[in-house]
Each structure stands twice: as structure tokens, then as C-alpha cells.
Amino acid sequence: MIGLLGKKTGMTRIFDESGNVIPVTIVEAGPCFVTQIKTKEKDGYNAIQLGFGDKKIKSTNKPLLGLFEKAGISPKRFLAEFKDFDLKDIKLGQMISVDIFSEGDKITVQGISKGKGFQGVVKRHGFGGGPVTHGQSDRLRAPGSIGASSFPSRVFKGQRMAGRMGGVKVSVRNLKIVKIDKDQNLIFIKGAIPGHINGYVKLIKK
């Protein structure tokens, strides 16, 4: 499993050789730097930790400053691990760029979805709501009954109700890379990916 860290910069469209329109999301991927190497002998599993995006020294705590100084790089804002990375040619502080990907690759994109705040059941779960006519006046977007009567006298765990929506980690699999701009470290991914503009994402190729 190899991958990169990046930042979602927005969406646009491109045209293929046949003139078909392809909606794409542009991700500024890398350059990333190896901040830590984990081995099975010392940590119980093989992985590397990558860092992306610069961060001010005064905003970085001392344990992380020690980690970056050991790697010989400046403080990074976004850190994430990639397990089962090929550690043969990996060195601490090494730069990893978009060269590890190719056009046509299928990848998994992980990111934090847009936070929607407190939402009702129609928006959060897709409920249909109550009838518009037949005497109802104020139950159009209400969930209806949420439980039984005297038995079991409680609301079952997991009942779909209103609540906080979004702001969770989302993975989207089998997204296709349609274009790579190596000069500007940009990857054009077909379709939409999780998160808001300038949100950090994790690109994984297995």
C-alpha cells in the first residue's frame, strides 16, 4: 500500500480525446516527507508516517518538534501513516512526490466530510416526512413514532433520529486518476471526494 497526503483545492472539468466532459476534483498532492519509519521489530508493524503542509515552529509542541528535528525537516501540519509500505528504499526525511502515481490508477481517498451541524431526519436520513394534507399542520418534516408503547417502553439503540451530521472520516474507493501535473504537484481525480475546499485528504493506492 502506497500513498500521499494532499489538500483538496476544488472541482473543474476536463475533456478526453473524444471530447467527453469529465468532472474532476483537483488535489494538491505533496510533496510529502517521511517523518517516521515504523518496523515490525520495534513497533509491531511496518509503516511510514508522512507529513504535508508547513506549520509554524511556535505552533508546534515539543514532542513533535523533536520528531521533525530527527527527520531533518521543518514542522508539518498534517501527519498520517501508511501501513505495509515498501521500506527498502525509504529514508527518514525523504521527499515523496506525485511520481508514485500514474494516470489511470485506481485509488482510495479518505477525508473528513463537510460538517452540517444539527439536522433533522429528512436531511440526515432521507425520511419522507408526513402527509401534506389530511388535517396535518405541523408534522411535515417530523420523524413520526420513534418507539412502542408500554412494551418495551424505551427507544431502541440506533434509532434514526435528528442529530449532528457530517464531520466524520469518509473513504471513497475506486476513484480514477485522469491527469497528473507533476510540475505543480496536482492530481486530477474523476468525480467528487470527501471534505471541503482546502481540507486535507489521504490518497491510497493498494
| Other beta carbons within 10 Å of 45 | 11
Task: State how far the Cα of 177 lies from the Cα of 200, in Å rounded to an integer.
Answer: 18
pLDDT of 116 > 80? The answer is yes
> Residue 1's pLDDT is what?
57
Contacts of 72 (CB under 8 A, 6+ apart): 92, 93
Report pLDDT for 2: 84
- Amino acid occupying residue 176: K
Cell 513533535, residue located:
64
Grid cell 515539543 in the structure block, residue: 62
% the chain with pLDDT above 90: 57
Cα-based distances in Å from 67 to 21, 44, 52, 86, 102: 45, 19, 14, 21, 31
For residue 65, what are the CA distances in angstroms to 57, 77, 156? 8, 12, 47
Mean pLDDT of 107-129: 94
Please, which pLDDT band fits residue 129 given cuts at 50, 70 and 90?
Answer: confident
CATH no. of 2-110+170-205: 2.40.30.10
CA atoms within 13 A on the CB side of 62: 0
CA 110 to chain CA centroid, Å, is: 3
Which grid coordinates belong to 155? 427507544
Alpha carbons 201 and 7: distance in angstroms, whole number: 6
Q: Which amino acid is at 190?
A: K
Number of residues assigned to the chain:
206
d(CA 48, CA 34): 7
pLDDT digits (tens, 9 = 90+) for 72-110: 899 999 999 988 777 677 888 889 888 888 888 999 999
Maximum C-alpha span of the chain? 72
Please determine, for residue 148, whether its predicted confidence score (pLDDT) is greater than 90. Answer: no
If DSSP codes are grouped into helix, strand and coil, which group holds residue 37?
strand
Half-sphere exposure of 46 (CA within 13 A, CB side): 8
Model-level pTM? 0.83
Q: How far is CA 78 from the centre of its chain?
A: 12
pLDDT digits (tens, 9 = 90+) for 27-79: 999 789 999 998 888 888 889 999 998 889 999 899 999 989 988 899 999 99
8-state DSSP, 82 = E
Q: Where are the domains of the chain?
A: 2-110+170-205, 116-146+159-165
Residue tagged 479518505 (cell numbers): 110
Residue 132: the pLDDT is 83
